[in-house]
Structure 1
Amino acid sequence: MTQDIDKQTVRNWIDDDLVQRIEDVTDGDEAYNYLVQVSGMNFHIGRVRGTGPISVASTIEFDPETVALLMEREEKRRDLLTRFERVLTIAPGWYTFLDGAGNPGCNFTEMRSIRLEYRIYPDGASQHALMNGLIDMANALVFLRDVMTSLAEAADE
């Protein structure tokens, strides 16, 4: 039997020592939604349906000019994809490439941002599952940001 994880329980699970900001941004369609900041990245922790999974999600956007510069040359595009795949395939949850308009499911060459989402189902919900998922996602996004920056700087040289 699964238990319902309520808004206050999730709030109590968010480790104040590891996040820079916590804000309740719940609107009428959600059971709850917290906006938290970890390593300078914004994450939403929430639930749309009352007894569904807890969702931990974030989107990282890249500078369009930087992405275009790296995508125009095959060797740089391959290098970027290889580095991204190493992280994205082991990050918790799943990822989706988004195009410049924010539409999901584009191919890598059209990618301008990446959305990560990790779901924690009630029968496996705990502070440990929430914080480990959040930290692992933050680490992945920081790495992706840094890879994009370093490859762009190398391309400028």
Structure 2
Amino acid sequence: MGEHLSREQTEAWLDENVVQGIEHQSGDGTEYNLQLQLSRLPLHVIKEETWGPLRVVGECAFDTDRVAALVEDAGRRQELLLRLNPVLVGAPGFYTFLDDEGDPCDFPHVHSILLEDRLYPDGASQQALMASVMATASTMRSIQNTAAALQNQSRQRTRDDATE
């Protein structure tokens, strides 16, 4: 059996020069849930069970009207998925498309993308935790940048079509 990772140990491993605003959230049935920010991106480090893994979790929502319009249009949605695929394949852990109710769904119904990486006690260290936190945040930022670039490209096409 691996080592028990206490909230204090996990919090001590978080590099405060990289992460900001570490807050404890309670009441969700977990042993602990640390909410933090890295470059203004919200992340969670969650420990559900005493001997269970640390879960590094981030969520990217397509909650603006402009980005939601990308997902609603079949052609743009396909282009978005093609552009996101390399980002998601390189993400640490796994990802899940969620609908507006927070339930897993297929991409045409996506409202957000949940990213999750797990660190098991026998392989957990400060290096592993910080690498996971930074890689998850980098993936989140890449998702945002990819959606923004496609959105800007779509706006430019609309302007070009209007001037013709």
Same fold (TM over 0.5): yes
1:104-123 to 2 correspondences below 5 Å: 104=104, 106-123=105-122
Structure whose CA Rg is larger: 2
Structure 1 equivalent of residue 50 of structure 2: 50
How far off its partner does 1:79 sit? 2.0
Once residues 28 and 64 of structure 1 are traced to their aligned partners in structure 2, the CA distance between those partners, rounded to angstroms, is 27
Identity %: 36
- Deviation per CA, 1:89-140: give whole Å up to 9, x if none: 1111110001122211x11111110000111001101011100001001001
Q: Is the 8 A contact 1:33 1:47 kept in 2?
A: yes
Structure 2 equivalent of residue 19 of structure 1: 19
Q: Secondary structure in 2 aligned to 1:9?
A: helix
Q: What stretches of structure 1 move > 3 A for 4+ residues in a row?
A: 71-75
Structure 2 equivalent of residue 146 of structure 1: 145
User: TM-score, length-normalised on structure 2?
Assistant: 0.88
1:42-81 to 2 correspondences below 5 Å: 42-63=42-63, 65-81=65-81
Once residues 64 and 102 of structure 1 are traced to their aligned partners in structure 2, the CA distance between those partners, rounded to angstroms, is 16
How far off its partner does 1:4 sit? 1.0
- Structure 2 unaligned residues grouped into runs of 5+: 157-164
AA in 1 matched with 2:7: K
Once residues 69 and 30 of structure 1 are traced to their aligned partners in structure 2, the CA distance between those partners, rounded to angstroms, is 36
Once residues 11 and 20 of structure 1 are traced to their aligned partners in structure 2, the CA distance between those partners, rounded to angstroms, is 12
Structure 2 equivalent of residue 41 of structure 1: 41
- Structure 1 unaligned residues grouped into runs of 5+: none
How far off its partner does 1:74 sit? 4.2
Q: 1:61 to 1:68 in 2, by over 3 A?
A: closer
Q: Is the 8 A contact 1:64 1:112 kept in 2?
A: no
Q: Secondary structure in 2 aligned to 1:29?
A: coil
Asked if residue 10 in structure 1 is aligned to residue 23 in structure 2, the reply is no
